[in-house]
């Protein structure tokens, strides 16, 4: 299998953590996409993913799978080991619900802020910036941190008692937020404690 990505970006990080959790990183041939120079917008890449986003997983039969949730579903159902997408119907539902919240409330919000209200990838690539939208996404990301802090006051993990892809998404969201100076308020102790705990998992500390 191949993965087209750029290691430093948040969505590639999500899949790389998922691979490490499943213990299958060695099965992947990583191909670097030069996102900073717009390679993800070239027609050749858009065939792989019309959204123009990394990562993309290419299966051995040539099928392309994009979107982190879809890639994680594939990996989780193909390989044994820890379950990242849940086993019971209720567990699966909670994980998918929290996965969407982790995207909407935090990761996608921070990414929206970056592209619309900061220099983003620079003037050549950021051809449509809507500053008011970006600012709204900044507020949303900070509120998202507050939401997950509340969730983690009751739960050991984002979707309940077990680690899942939703934890990966919140972790990657916070890492990206850091990189664009959206920092966790020091009063969000549950979130900070959870983050320090998650950072020690071999799938993350070993990256």
Residues that bind its own copies (CB under 8 A): 50-51, 59, 63, 65-67, 69-71, 73-74, 76-78, 88-90, 92-97, 100-101, 104, 128, 130, 132-133, 136, 147
Could you tell me the two tokens for 146? 């507050």
The least distance separating its own copies from the CB of residue 95, rounded to whole angstroms, comes to 8
Distances (CA, A) of 138 to 36, 89, 126, 192: 22, 34, 17, 19
Q: How far is CA 2 from CA 42, 151, 160, 190, 198, in A?
A: 19, 35, 32, 37, 27
For residues 30 and 147, which CB has a smaller minimum distance to its own copies in the complex?
147
Nearer residue to its own copies within complex by CB, 39 or 67: 67
Q: Within a 10 A sphere around the Cβ of 193, how many other Cβ atoms? A: 12
Give 18 or 204: the residue with its C-beta nearer to its own copies: 18
CB of 71 to its own copies, least distance (A): 7
Q: Report, in Å, the least distance between residue 104 CB and its own copies.
A: 7
CB of 162 vs its own copies, minimal distance in Å: 16
Q: How many other β-carbons are positioned within 10 Å of the β-carbon of residue 40?
A: 24
Nearer to its own copies by Cβ, of 16 and 96: the residue is 96
DSSP 57: E
User: Residue 124 or residue 128: which is nearer to its own copies going by CB?
Assistant: 128
Minimum CB separation of residue 101 from its own copies in Å reads 7
Provide the 10 A C-beta neighbour count for residue 202. Answer: 10
């Amino acid at each position: 299998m191949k993965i087209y990505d750029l290691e430093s970006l948040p969505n590639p990080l999500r899949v790389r953590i998922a691979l490490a959790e499943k213990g299958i990183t060695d099965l992947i041939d990583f191909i670097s996409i030069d996102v900073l120079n717009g390679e993800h917008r070239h027609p050749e890449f858009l065939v792989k993913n019309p959204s123009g986003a990394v990562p993309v997983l290419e299966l051995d039969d040539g099928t392309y799978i994009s979107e982190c949730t879809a890639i994680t579903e594939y990996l989780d159902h193909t390989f044994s080991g820890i379950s990242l997408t849940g086993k019971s119907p209720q567990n699966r539902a909670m994980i998918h619900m929290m996965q969407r919240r982790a995207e909407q409330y935090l990761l996608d919000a921070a990414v929206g802020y970056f592209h619309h209200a900061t220099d983003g990838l620079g003037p050549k690539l950021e051809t449509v910036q809507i500053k008011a939208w970006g600012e709204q996404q900044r507020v949303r990301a900070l509120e998202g941190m507050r939401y997950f802090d509340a969730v983690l006051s009751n739960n050991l993990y984002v979707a309940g008692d077990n680690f899942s892809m939703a934890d990966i998404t919140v972790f990657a969201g916070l890492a990206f937020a850091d990189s664009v100076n959206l920092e966790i308020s020091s009063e969000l102790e549950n979130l900070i404690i959870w983050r320090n705990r998650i950072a020690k998992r071999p799938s993350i500390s070993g990256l």
